[in-house]
Structure 1
Amino acid sequence: MSHPFRRTSQRGFSLLELLVTLFVVVLVTSLVTLNVGGGAGDYELEGQVDELLDTATYALDEAQFLGWDFGLLIVREYSRDPSYTLQWLERGPDRWSAPRSGKDVFAELELPPGVELELELDGVLLQQDVFSPREELPEPQIVFYSSGETAPGNLVIRASDTGDLLWRVEWDLLGNFRALHRGEESEFDES
């Protein structure tokens, strides 16, 4: 005999269990999204670091090929949002000036606001006032000599609000440049 009011065992999940699971998934997803970072600003800075490396390598090659020195002048712009401008220069007979050739390659590069720079040359960390030249025609901080050499050093890019290391650009005496994201070697680097 079968009982019409007999309960069969339930299968599946209750509505409450499904809602709790959905809430946990949404919470974890939002936390991961927050930790990934700003996105567009990171890609912009990465592109500028890559452009800096490519242009520095080109400047060193041009210095050897043409027989005159090139330089990189880093200037801190004080405005509503302080930022840094990287200007390429060429040593003339009397003074440093904008490069006469390769104007599209030696374009001025403006780093986004919200970063701080630290420059170290020959093992000496330079003071921040080196980025605020007082002369009308300042000399560049980094020089690429026609002999194919440059003073070894590194340029550290930090987030100005947190002090977190974003990029470290380093080079040796022969101008072998490399960029280290957050100061660490990439797993794809061959060296």
Structure 2
Amino acid sequence: MVKGDRQRGFSLLELLVALFVVVLVTSLVTLNIGSGDRDILLQAAVEGLADSANYALDEAQFTGVNYALAVSMEDDQGQWRFHFDWYEESPTGWQPPTGSKEVFAPTVLPPGVVVQLELDGVAEDEEALVANPAIPQPQLVFYASGETAPGAMTIRETKTDELLWRLEWDLLGNFQALRRGQSADEEDL
């Protein structure tokens, strides 16, 4: 063999390093895509709750019937999942709404988040949120007079306690969904 005639190509070590890099990049992309799904589902759920709450207050004033939102949590294979169910007041107690079923559809948050509910400046006890489907206990009532108890709901990442969303409302039921606790204007700064 002449000194200038070397074989061209990649060594086994170079191929293994290249393969390792490809696998590493692929797994990182897959992890990021999976976490993005939860963020999108959570955003849709929170914004949907705010929209439904605003509608419930308008509907209560229009029809003269009180509406309510029950926040509950259920154990789903070792993880707590938070549920939001709508009710309307009837002579026999709280019943599922008879109209606007698509607006008042139950909402379930994706796993991995924890909800803290605060009404009139007082945090609701988490144990009180454990679901009892036989006796609905709505925490938030939308009165036909156009009022509701002012409050807030924070949604945090279970593992890191990072604030993901904050839903705030006043006595007149002006609901705002705040990503990371900030309005869209504050996020842009």
What's the TM-score bracket when you normalise by the shorter of the two chains? 0.7 to 0.9
Range with greater deviation from structure 2 (127-136 or 82-91):
127-136
The separation in 1 between residues aligned to 2:34 and 2:105, in whole angstroms, is: 28
1:95 aligned partner, one-letter code: G
Instruction: Kindly report the root-mean-square deviation, in angstroms, between the aligned alpha carbons of the 2 structures.
Output: 2.3
- Tell me the equivalent position of 1:62: 59
Query: What SS does the corresponding residue of 1:82 show, helix, strand or coil?
Result: strand
Say which one has the larger Rg.
1
- Tell me the equivalent position of 2:17: none
The separation in 2 between residues aligned to 1:185 and 1:153, in whole angstroms, is: 17
Identify, as 1 or 2, the structure richer in helix. Answer: 2
Residues 133, 79 of structure 1: alpha-carbon distance in 2 compared, 3 angstrom cutoff: closer
Structure 2 stretches lacking a partner, 5+ long: 1-20
- Structure 1 vs Structure 2: percent identity of aligned residues? 47
Query: What SS does the corresponding residue of 1:76 show, helix, strand or coil?
Result: strand
The separation in 1 between residues aligned to 2:136 and 2:103, in whole angstroms, is: 21
Tell me if structure 1 keeps the 8 A contact 2:65–2:89: yes
Residues 36, 107 of structure 1: alpha-carbon distance in 2 compared, 3 angstrom cutoff: closer
Residues 79, 40 of structure 1: alpha-carbon distance in 2 compared, 3 angstrom cutoff: closer
The separation in 2 between residues aligned to 1:124 and 1:77, in whole angstroms, is: 22
- Residue 169 of structure 1 and its aligned partner are, at CA, apart by 0.2
Structure 1 stretches lacking a partner, 5+ long: 1-25
- Residue 134 of structure 1 and its aligned partner are, at CA, apart by 4.6
- Residue 105 of structure 1 and its aligned partner are, at CA, apart by 1.2
- Residue 133 of structure 1 and its aligned partner are, at CA, apart by 4.6
Residues 42, 187 of structure 1: alpha-carbon distance in 2 compared, 3 angstrom cutoff: same
The separation in 2 between residues aligned to 1:73 and 1:115, in whole angstroms, is: 17
Residues 113, 36 of structure 1: alpha-carbon distance in 2 compared, 3 angstrom cutoff: closer
When normalised by structure 1's length, the TM-score is 0.77
The equivalent position to 2:68 in structure 1, one of 67, 71, 89, is 71
Tell me if structure 1 keeps the 8 A contact 2:54–2:173: yes
The separation in 2 between residues aligned to 1:109 and 1:188, in whole angstroms, is: 28
Find runs of 4+ consecutive structure 1 residues off by over 6 angstroms.
33-37
When normalised by structure 2's length, the TM-score is 0.78
- Tell me the equivalent position of 1:10: none
